Amino acid sequence: MQFIIWLLAVSGIASDARSADPPAEAAGTLAQEYQRVLKEMGGAAPNFRSAKSDEERKQAVETTGSFARRFVKLAENHPNDPFALEVLTQAVRVMNGEDSAIQMSWVTKKTAFPVRSKDETSAKATALLLRDHLRSEKLGAVCERMRFGTRKEYETFLRRVMNQSPHHDVRGVACLSLAQFLNSHAKRLDLLGERPELALRFEDLLGKDYYDRLQRKGRDGRTREIETHLQQAVAKYADVKMPWGGPVGEQASVELFELRHFAVGKTVEDIDGVDQDGKPFKLSDYRGKVVLLYFWSEY
């Protein structure tokens, strides 16, 4: 089965090597320093998509982490600047792009596997967010970004926000984002059994302790946990608007239906209708066979 990757594009993943420590930025306002680093990241070449070889892709991916560290350092140096929240949100975007490109390389490369830095960037980012911005009514945007990520610190952060934010809307975004974050991991773990070499790489990406913790829950345990958070999202936060996309309740309801009917190991509900040639058919008539369902519509 094809290993599914959600690639989050981050422009300008650079190929030139940089030191593990972020360079000191020139003096200026946080917004000015942020724009300077953002421009540098966008101008660095080649990026992951335009890389011509496995080695170039490896260098591009591994350099991305240096930009995440620089964004986190900027926010750390300006703790009282309200714009620090946007800078930390960008750091999360970059970390997501790094991890997604690493996973994309698993199925597109032949040599030179990229490796994520083992530094504390994500831990520092989430610590700053919790210390300086937990009570912010604008925290939903970074919660929404974390649903696309892989890092264990995101789970801890989203649980904390869901339980401690004073803002109903922020708690709603955190609740749905946590369910989606956990569901993304669950889908990967379900698929990795058929590709054991990817399982080992995913363990390395997540870290052995976090990977083992997710595995110990088992498929049923993971599903129950995800379902609980989705049900909570529908019951308590249905009208909360996600920063990108529709209301929390609408998105959670769709994912609940998918989890209950379309997840690996579930029996699909029967379909009784006519095919494109007008002939009657039942989906159950094809039980035991490989079936491709292709849904489309015209407006």
Phi, psi torsion values for 234, nearest 5 degrees: -70, -45
The pLDDT profile of the chain, 299 residues, written as one tens digit per residue, is 333 333 333 333 333 333 344 555 555 799 999 999 999 998 876 677 777 787 888 888 878 888 999 999 999 999 999 999 999 999 999 999 999 888 888 876 666 667 787 889 999 999 999 999 999 999 999 999 999 999 999 999 999 999 999 999 999 999 999 999 999 999 999 888 778 878 888 998 999 999 999 999 999 999 999 999 999 999 999 999 999 888 999 999 999 999 888 766 667 778 888 887 888 888 888 888 888 877 776 65
Q: Give the pLDDT confidence score for residue 76 in this predicted structure.
A: 97
Residues in Cβ contact with 86 at an 8 Å cutoff, skipping those fewer than 6 apart: 34
| Residue 169 counted as domain residue | no
Residue 213 maps to a domain: no
In SS3 terms, 93-162 reads as HHHHHHHHHHHHHHHHCCCCCCCCCCCCHHHHHHHHHHHHHCCCCCCHHHHHHHCCCCCHHHHHHHHHHH
**Given its phi and psi angles, is residue 245 left (phi above 0), alpha (psi -120 to 50 degrees) or beta?**
left
Closest CA to 205 of 222, 180, 227, 188: 188
Give the CA-trace dihedral at 129, 131, 133, 139, to 10 degrees: 40
Helix, coil or strand: residue 256: helix
Q: Is residue 275 a part of any domain in this protein?
A: no
Distance CA 93, CA 39 (A): 15
Task: State the pairing for strand pair 280-282/272-274.
Answer: antiparallel
* Nearest CA-CA partner of 143 in 88, 220, 83: 88
Q: Which amino acid is at 136?
A: S
227 occurs within a structural domain: no
**What element of type H or E holds 241?**
none
Q: Is residue 203 part of a domain?
A: no
pLDDT for 24:
52
Residue 244 lies in a domain: no
In this prediction, residue 285 carries a pLDDT of 85
- Residue 299 is predicted with a pLDDT of 52
Distance CA 117, CA 98 (A): 10
Give the length of the chain: 299
pLDDT of res. 27: 59
| Neighbour count for residue 145 (Cβ, 10 Å) | 22
Nearest Cα residue to 232 out of 164, 130, 167, 163: 163
Cβ atoms of 60 and 102 closer than 8 Å: no
- Which residue carries 């339980």 as its tokens? 163
Q: Is residue 246 part of a domain?
A: no
pLDDT computed for residue 169 by the predictor: 97
What is the residue range of 117's domain? 1-133
Q: Both tokens of residue 168?
A: 């109903």
Domain count for the chain: 1
**Structural contact between residues 242 and 248, judged by C-beta atoms closer than 8 angstroms:** yes
**What pTM did the predictor assign?**
0.81
Asked, for residue 11, whether it belongs to a domain, the answer is: yes
pLDDT at 257: 92
Backbone angles phi, psi at 274, to 5 degrees: -125, 150
